[in-house]
């Protein structure tokens, strides 16, 4: 199963009200474990801050196994999304400022 298919499956089965955008994979993922395929999603807040969320699926899993595992994968993703939402925008702003400062150095 390729990343796009997996992302589409996840997006289609996510509960409404969860607002995640599938992202293309990153080529420069140095920590990537070759045994896992990684899919990325972005959660964004109206204040303009986005968080990167990711899921890992073993490449040894068949499509059938992935389908069976989907509910728990989606739950993980929704928990990540929830913790981003539970931060207020002051905290989001600090996150963003932190990123910008890191970049400037
Ligand atoms: Zn915010």
**Residue 85 CA, ligand 1 centroid: distance in Å:** 8
As a whole number of angstroms, the distance between CA 87 and CA 40 comes to 20
Give the pLDDT confidence score for residue 29 in this predicted structure: 59
Backbone angles phi, psi at 48, to 5 degrees: 100, -5
For the chain of 105 residues, list the mean pLDDT of each consecutive stretch of 10: 89 83 71 81 92 91 95 93 93 77 45
For residue 102, the model assigns a pLDDT of 47
The pLDDT value recorded for residue 97 is 75
How far apart are the CA of 95 and the centre of ligand 1, in A?
10
DSSP H or E stretch at residue 9: helix 3-13
What's the pLDDT at 34?
81
């Amino acid at each position: 199963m390729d990343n796009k298919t997996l992302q589409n499956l996840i997006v289609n089965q996510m509960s409404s009200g969860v607002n995640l955008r599938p992202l293309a994979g990153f080529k420069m993922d140095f920590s990537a474990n070759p045994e896992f395929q990684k899919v990325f999603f972005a959660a964004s807040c109206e204040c303009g801050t986005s968080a990167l969320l990711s899921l890992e699926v073993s490449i040894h899993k068949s499509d059938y196994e992935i389908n069976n595992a989907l509910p728990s994968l989606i739950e993980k993703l929704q928990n990540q999304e929830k913790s981003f939402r539970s931060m207020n925008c002051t905290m989001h702003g600090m996150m963003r400022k932190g990123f910008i400062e890191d970049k400037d150095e």
